[in-house]
């Protein structure tokens, strides 16, 4: 994996970074103003990072409004419970 001077996790493309952004929202509980909301291309390493600043990524916003993130989060919680048994 490529290292960046920012020490943030790097993603090789915008699409992969957006997938990681959406996956993060399906696995973790973020408060009203917490967690990553967008991706950007780093000036230092040229790869993409997640950020909690700026406007919300359009794809993430659409999935949140449609309720798909919430449904995926519930499904992941059930999968986790079933794996423990």
pLDDT band at residue 5 using 50, 70 and 90 as cut-offs: very high
- pTM of the predicted protein model: 0.83
Domain limits, the chain: 14-84
Tens digits of per-residue pLDDT, 37-72?
999 999 999 999 999 999 999 999 999 999 999 898
Q: Which one, of 31, 23, 35, lies nearest residue 75 by Cα? A: 23
């Amino acid at each position: 994996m490529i290292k960046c001077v920012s020490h943030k996790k790097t993603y090789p493309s915008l699409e992969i970074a957006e997938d990681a952004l959406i996956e993060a929202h399906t696995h973790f509980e973020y408060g009203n103003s917490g967690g990553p909301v967008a991706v950007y291309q780093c000036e230092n390493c040229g790869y993409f990072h997640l950020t909690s600043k700026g406007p919300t990524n359009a794809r993430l916003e659409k999935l949140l409004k449609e309720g798909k993130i919430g449904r995926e989060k519930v499904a992941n919680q059930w999968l986790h419970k079933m794996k423990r048994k």
